[in-house]
Structure 1
Amino acid sequence: MSGLTFVDVCSGAGGLALGLEQAGFEPSLLLDEDADSCRTLRANRPRWNVLQADLLDLDPSEHPESYDVDLLSAGLPRVKSSATAARAESGAEERLLRAAVYLAHAIRPRALLMENVPTLVHGDRFRDFREFARAELDHLGYEFSWFVLNAADFGVPQDRKQGVLVAIKKTWHPSFRSPSPTVADHVSVGEALAPSMRSRGWKDADRWAAQAIAVAPTLVGGSKSHGGADLGPSGTKRKWAGLGVNAHSLSNELPGPEFVWAPERGKDGMVQLTVDQTALLQSFPEGWEITGKKTARYRQIGHASPPPVGEALGRAIAHALRS
């Protein structure tokens, strides 16, 4: 089992897949219904086998490369907006979760990884799904680990809690341990973004960075029908204001020498982030290209799983499968 393989569904901008690649996994198939996300995946990894399709319509028998893989990974988009309630009522989110479990039933990977909001692990909203997953996967010979990770504990400059399900065939599960934090001190917004803030000669970049000493609030990309390129609801915007950032919209360019940072004047005196900077806050590497228009690019970034978390999970699963 020298080379580990995986199928990734709801791949988005590739954050989870990139992390798994860094952990030594090679994708056999990546799937997403969003055209921009598929273009992002192909732009960065032309060799990856990317399929644009709805998970609910996937027939594994038409994709034999999906069989005999070590891992099936799935990360559903996060949506915290006025669209959330409607989506939950429609049952679309749980149908995707169940579809991922049914896919595991079809392709029988050695391990299954699912990632979403923290309530996946302990919230009432997902109770029925957890009972369904336990019954279905136990029948297939998997054992379970449910836990919550914070991306900030893995070097991501963002307070981003993630609910995780890892199910591994009983042969290998005793060797699995959930990932331990990889950093002793969290990376602040100022530390993460100072180089980009300086890049066009903004004279207040260091002064801004010196006060932006906390991690960022959770990035949320919004849904296709709701939400634009801003940094979240009103409570989140207030947290950004405390970091000297105007979170009501994203800028098309980095601040230049002429910009005067004066947060005492309110949002008009605060700096705005660019889409590329939000990708840095999600810990995508600088060379990772996110395709599409501004709102579509930010939506992909906000929904992504940070690659360092994917890598930590991948290493923990790989250790168990190689034991």
Structure 2
Amino acid sequence: MKPLTFVDVCSGAGGLALGLEQAGFEPRLLLDHDELAVTTLRMNRPRWNVLHTDLLDFDPTDHPVSYDVDLLAAGLPRVKSSATVGRVESEVEERLLEATIYLVHAIRPRAVLIENVPGLAHADAYQRFRDFARAELVHLGYDFSWCVVNAVDFGVPQNRKQGVLVAVERGRAQEFRVPTPTVREPVTVGDALGPSMAARGWPDAARWAAQADQPAPTLVGGSKNRGGADLGPTGAKRKWATMGVDAHTVGDEVPGPDFVWDPDLGRGGMVKITVEQAALLQGFPSSWEVAGRKTARYRQIGHATPPPVGRALGRSVAEALCGEPALSAAG
């Protein structure tokens, strides 16, 4: 069986594309407007066809390789409420959602996968987009469904809910099933990061891991208009503090043998999560490299679709298209 093919727009650090590759899909074209994200993709997969361009400027007639593909995938920037970002930024993100639907007109994939914030699937704030997507996709001959998935159900040590639109050519759409959880018990932060916390000989790594006995709250990549990296809003920071982690910043390295871990002392007595550890909390393999300086690297990681979620969604799409999982060379 030939591998299924896909085009991935707004590819970012490659989380969704990597997951689809693991599900047996073969990329025809990936694109992103961010130069560092493009560098990240090319570093990790030199054979991938990666285009440095904005989705809003992309013309598929200049890239015929994007036609006749099985899947159009889009892990779009997570649209925030007006309380967290400026209206101009939010409008750009909404335009990207619509541009993805218009791209369906142009390349006519057999299936479409759009991932974004959980509210995209059900919140009143996104009803206009859902109505727009319904009208366009029904006209083009697709049936579709909305669902919300949580990364923690797929072995990712993070509570991260995502709103997902899956559209499949009419006649096969009834074969699509929302992916079922792949783990019975959630992976905790301590499970995921314990070994890396001990890498420089920190004697309290095991004690810390025992306290970090829950999944992480949702990592937030933040906006380029914001300052340095942190692990999320106030509620997330409080959750991290219960695990003895200072979430107001991102660390440069894991603790050494002389670090005294005492959360009762405040932020100075807490550990900091590094960019590499944030990638592990997103389900990236440790071999995945991210280009740029610390804040830019963390931003790419925080915005990414966790690869295990991409893999689960990809397998469900493959089963709808083929009646069985895609042929996977990546496992």
TM-score range, shorter chain: over 0.9
Matches within 5 A, 1:312-323: 312-323=312-323
Q: Structure 1 vs Structure 2: percent identity of aligned residues?
A: 69
In the alignment, residue 173 of structure 1 is paired with which amino acid? A
Shift of 1:87: 3.8
Deviation string for 1:48-77 (max 9, x for gaps)? 000010101110000000000000000112
Tell me how many residue pairs correspond in the alignment: 323
Number of the residue aligned with 1:6? 6
Length-normalised TM-score, structure 1: 0.97
Greater CA drift, 61-70 or 1-10: 1-10
Is the Cα–Cα contact under 8 Å of residues 68 and 109 in structure 1 kept in the other structure? yes
More divergent stretch after superposition (171-180 vs 299-308) = 171-180
Partner of 2:51: 51
For residues 116 and 310 of structure 1, what CA distance do their matches in structure 2 show? Answer: 12
Indicate conservation of the 8 Å contact 1:79/1:221, yes or no.
no
Contact 2:16 2:75 in 1 (8 A): yes
Shift of 1:90: 5.3
Unaligned runs of 5+ in 2: 324-331
1:1-323 correspondence to structure 2 within 5 Å: 2-78=2-78, 84-87=84-87, 91-323=91-323
Q: Tell me if the contact between 1:11 and 1:32 (Cα under 8 Å) persists in the aligned partners.
A: yes
> Is the CA contact 2:79–2:94 (under 8 Å) kept in the aligned structure 1?
no
Tell me the CA shift for residue 80 of structure 1: 5.2
Distance 2:16 2:37 in 1: 13
1:89 to partner: Cα distance: 7.1
Residues 81, 233 of structure 1: 8 Å contact kept: no
Aligned-pair distance for 1:2?
Answer: 2.2
Letter of the 2:155 counterpart: G
Cα distance change on mapping 1:79 and 1:90 into 2, 3 Å: closer
Give, in whole Å, the separation in 1 of the partners of 2:150 and 2:280.
17
Please tell me the residue identity of whatever aligns with 2:118.
P
Distance 2:241 2:280 in 1: 19
Instruction: Give the aligned residue type for 2:254.
Output: L
Deviation at 1:78, TM superposition (A): 2.5
In 1, distance between residues paired with 2:291 and 2:85?
A: 28
Give the Cα separation in 2 of the matches to 1:253 and 1:31: 31
Q: CA deviation at 1:194?
A: 0.3
CA distance in 1, matches of 2:89, 2:107: 30
Distance of aligned partners of 1:89 and 1:81 in 2 relative to their CA distance in 1, 3 Å threshold: closer
Closer, same or farther: CA 100–32 of 1 in aligned 2, 3 Å: same
CA distances 1:118-158 after superposition (whole Å, capped 9, x unpaired): 01101122110000000000000000110000000000000
The 8 Å contact of residues 146 and 164 in structure 2, kept in 1 or not, is answered as yes
Aligned residues of 2:81 and 2:90 also touching (Cα < 8 A): no
Deviation of 1:83 (Å): 7.8
Could you say what secondary structure the match of 1:91 adopts? helix
User: 1:263 deviation in Å?
Assistant: 0.6
- Shift, 1:235, TM fit: 1.5
Distance 1:249 1:312, change over 3 A: same
Q: Deviations over 1:251-300 (max 9, x none)?
A: 11110000010011111100111110000000100000011010100000
The C-alpha deviation readout for 1:168-193, integer Å capped at 9, x for no partner, is: 00121121101000000000000000
1:218-250 deviation per Cα after TM superposition (whole angstroms, max 9, x unaligned): 000001111421111211111100111001111
Secondary structure of the residue aligned to 1:215 is coil
Q: Structure 1, unaligned stretches of length 5 or more?
A: none
